[in-house]
Amino acid sequence: MITLHHCPQSRSMRVLWLLEELGVPYRVQVRAFYKSLRAPEFLSLSPAGRVPALEIDGERMFESAAIMEYLCERFPEAGLGCLPGEPDRMAWLVWLHFAETISQHLAALTQQHILLYDDAMRSPMVMKLEAARLMKCYAAIEARLSTPVENRDHLLTSGFSACDIAVGQAVYLGRYFARTEGFPELEKWMARNTARPGFQAALPKLGEALIYQQDFYPPMEPSRVGAQ
């Protein structure tokens, strides 16, 4: 049995979505975002105290892209990966790992807006820079989806893949900090992604603790820094 250790609205969501798309049996161990990730028993699965962590065949894995790559190779019949020698292999690797570029900017914004609870600890400049960098990522996806080739409904010409899952999940959370207006192909692609039953199944369940408590977090105004 596959066990996924998961926090709603985190990188583990992309692995949960992938497992749904693969159609393989699994179970989910939901973790609280804060203290439970520092528990010794969880650190034995993920030494840095981060999700996702995956248990499979008596082994453990951590790092979302590595987990996704392994699962696609383990279950190739689902057609969500690209094995060495296949035409889209290079692009598959690039876009699968591009999700982490997006997520680094998202993590910085999450820290600034949510984890740093005191306004005096936050930086309006960092918020604006990271939101702008996130939009640069949107522009890269828009350019890819605008390429005039057949079947550009997905990031790869071969069709829907783990790349759409990884990058789509990162953009889904990125929209809490940087809107996608002005990127029409990206918005159509996201509409296709979010309509998939696998994506819907990976959304937070009723009653689960959420990291993001509002629909959008605008950059803080400089005048608020240090205000009493």
> Residues 155-175: pLDDT tens digits?
998 999 999 999 999 999 999
- Find the helix or strand (DSSP H, E) in which 2 lies: strand 2-6
- pLDDT value at position 28? 98
Among 146, 143, 17, 161, CA closest to 91: 161
Highest mean pLDDT among 42-51, 133-142, 147-156: 133-142
Order across the sheet with 2-6: list the strands.
26-30, 2-6, 53-56, 59-62
Q: Do 56 and 104 belong together in one domain?
A: no
Residue 69: pLDDT over 60: yes
Question: Tens digits of per-residue pLDDT, 104-113?
Answer: 999 999 999 9
Residue finishing a domain among 78, 102, 126: 78
Among 141, 139, 135, CA closest to 91: 141
| Residue 221's pLDDT band (cuts 50, 70, 90) | confident
| Spatial CB neighbours of 189, under 8 Å, sequence gap ≥ 6 | 141, 145, 153, 154, 164, 168
152 in a structural domain? yes
Q: Do 71 and 110 belong together in one domain?
A: no
Structural domain total, the chain: 2
- Residue 57 domain boundaries: 2-78
- pLDDT value at position 151? 60
Residues 110-126 have a mean pLDDT of 93
Q: Do 180 and 104 belong together in one domain?
A: yes
Is the separation of the CB atoms in 43 and 35 below 8 Å? no
Q: Do 113 and 52 belong together in one domain?
A: no
Residues β-bridged to residue 28: 4
Q: Which comes out higher in pLDDT, residue 176 or 150?
A: 176
Q: What is the CATH number of the domain that holds 191?
A: 1.20.1050.10
Mean pLDDT over all residues of the chain? 94
Any idea which of 111-120, 141-150, 154-163 has the lowest mean pLDDT?
141-150
Residue 3: pLDDT over 80: yes
| Residue 117's pLDDT band (cuts 50, 70, 90) | confident
- pLDDT value at position 93? 98
72 in a structural domain? yes
Residues β-bridged to residue 5: 29, 53
Q: Do 121 and 72 belong together in one domain?
A: no
Residue finishing a domain among 46, 78, 110: 78
155 in a structural domain? yes
Residues 187-207 have a mean pLDDT of 97
| Pairwise CA distance, residues 92 & 96, whole Å | 6
Q: pTM for the whole thing?
A: 0.94
177 in a structural domain? yes
Q: Do 157 and 67 belong together in one domain?
A: no
- pLDDT value at position 228? 40
Q: Do 178 and 109 belong together in one domain?
A: yes
SS3 6: strand
Percent of the chain with pLDDT over 70: 96
Q: Do 58 and 154 belong together in one domain?
A: no
Question: Tens digits of per-residue pLDDT, 8-47?
Answer: 999 999 999 999 999 999 999 999 887 668 888 889 999 9
215 in a structural domain? no
Residue 78: pLDDT over 80: yes
- pLDDT value at position 223? 65
| Pairwise CA distance, residues 69 & 26, whole Å | 17
